[in-house]
């Protein structure tokens, strides 16, 4: 029976360690909580249960007291960190399961005098090994929490998307814009895609300049390794991630393969127009919700109607039309192409521009 009790004890040690690691990861991935609240929650729901799971291997009674002392505080902190994706129930399971369940179990084990997972004599017999082993396990626990937090969602639920202009009223990039080559893609998450990667910055457009290597948070596939991306992002506001070179793609932004980012790259490289307004866009045939774009349409006539009357522009070899020195005002862009069945495919876009602005009106011909 002693062997059975020890195996059950180790199961609770592992359960508490993993749930406390997940609790720390869940807290670390929150982007809207205050730093003091995050630090308190990290200690109460992560560090204390993990420390108790180490102590319990040779002192059940002390560990039970630590667990049950932290449990009420952990439950009080749950409303501060509701997860939009896991829900309140999932957060309670993670926070409470890391301390409450093992706390009562080890209290019962101490009263029944069940054997500890590690014999009580182990620390005294191996005085030099015990601290080193504990520090090593603690390091692995921290690394596991960090990697797990990268696989958790960082975005709030998204409503209707409204893409903002790339440049602000001063002609500077509104967000952190750059191109980067993906060096490593993280493991897949619950969404079926990886939520992070390590990338090397190739061309930056924002100030201050980014470091050469960044952690990119976006939706990626394993096949994206060695692929260049255009990123429209922002620095992470996570309580711990804000100190790292971590960039999160903006919601409803233009993050995409660099080969498809011809229009935003031209805008960023050229800057704001010297006079009037600029209207630019790319014509493509086919579009899917998943972000897979159809082929570009070169040599297409694009009709632009604005304050100065109708204008016709031809798309270049990359399917881009680009008209400069236009007067400010409301513009409608339209293009049409005949398909092989003899029918017509057309695309339409609108833009309202003030002086010095750049308008994007991409055309997707179905």
* Residue whose C-alpha is closest to residue 304's, from 336, 328, 333, 346: 333
**Higher local confidence (pLDDT), 159 or 167:** 167
Domains of the chain: 2-150 (no CATH), 176-257 (2.40.50), 273-365 (2.60.40.1120)
Mean pLDDT on 118-123: 63
Distance CA 32, CA 223 (A): 32
pLDDT digits (tens, 9 = 90+) for 205-249: 998 899 999 999 999 999 999 999 999 999 987 777 888 999 999
**What is the sign, positive or negative, of the torsion defined by CA atoms of 208, 212, 216, 219?**
positive
Q: Is the pLDDT of residue 85 over 50?
A: no
Q: Tell me, what's the pLDDT at 333? A: 94
Ranges of H-type helices in the chain: 2-28, 35-42, 48-55, 60-77, 87-97, 100-112, 122-125, 129-150, 262-270
Contact call for residues 102 and 67 (beta carbons, < 8 A): yes
Alpha carbon distance 196, 182 (integer Å): 10
| pLDDT score of 185 | 96
pLDDT tens column, 318-341: 999 999 999 999 999 999 887 655
Which residues face 277 on adjacent strands?
326
Q: Are 224 and 253 in contact (CB under 8 A)?
A: no
Question: What average pLDDT does the segment 66-78 reach?
Answer: 79
Cβ pair 349, 163 in contact under 8 A: no
């Amino acid at each position: 029976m002693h062997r059975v009790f020890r195996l059950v004890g180790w199961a609770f040690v592992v359960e508490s360690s993993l749930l406390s690691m997940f609790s720390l990861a869940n807290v670390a991935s929150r982007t809207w909580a205050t730093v003091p609240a995050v630090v308190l929650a990290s200690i109460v729901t992560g560090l204390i249960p993990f420390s108790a799971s180490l102590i319990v291997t040779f002192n059940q009674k002390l560990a039970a007291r630590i667990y049950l002392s932290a449990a009420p505080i952990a439950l009080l902190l749950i409303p501060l960190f509701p997860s939009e994706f896991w829900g309140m129930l999932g957060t309670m399971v993670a926070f409470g399961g890391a301390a409450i369940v093992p706390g009562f179990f080890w209290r019962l084990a101490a009263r029944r005098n069940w054997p500890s997972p590690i014999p009580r004599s182990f620390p005294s017999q191996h005085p030099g090994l015990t601290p080193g082993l504990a520090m090593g396990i603690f390091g692995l626990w921290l690394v596991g929490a960090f990697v797990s937090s990268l696989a958790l969602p960082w975005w709030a639920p998204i409503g209707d998307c409204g893409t903002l202009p790339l440049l602000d009223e001063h002609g500077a990039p509104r967000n952190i814009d750059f191109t980067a080559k993906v060096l490593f893609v993280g493991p897949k998450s619950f969404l079926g895609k990886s939520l992070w990667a390590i990338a090397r910055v190739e061309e930056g457009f924002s100030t201050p300049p980014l470091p050469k290597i960044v952690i990119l948070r976006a939706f990626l596939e394993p096949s994206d390794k060695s692929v260049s991306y255009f990123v429209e992002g922002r620095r992470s506001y996570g309580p711990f991630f804000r100190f790292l070179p971590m960039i999160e793609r903006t919601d409803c932004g233009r993050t995409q393969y660099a080969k498809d980012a011809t229009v935003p790259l031209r805008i960023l490289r050229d800057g704001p127009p010297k006079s009037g307004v600029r209207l630019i866009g790319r014509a493509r045939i086919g579009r899917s919700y998943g972000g897979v774009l159809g082929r570009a349409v070169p040599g297409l006539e694009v009709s632009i109607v604005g304050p100065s009357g109708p204008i016709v522009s031809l798309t270049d070899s990359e399917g881009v039309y680009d008209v400069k020195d236009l007067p400010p005002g409301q513009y409608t862009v339209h293009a049409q192409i005949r398909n092989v069945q003899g029918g017509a495919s057309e695309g339409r876009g609108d833009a309202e521009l003030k002086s010095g602005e750049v308008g994007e009106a991409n055309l997707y011909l179905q």
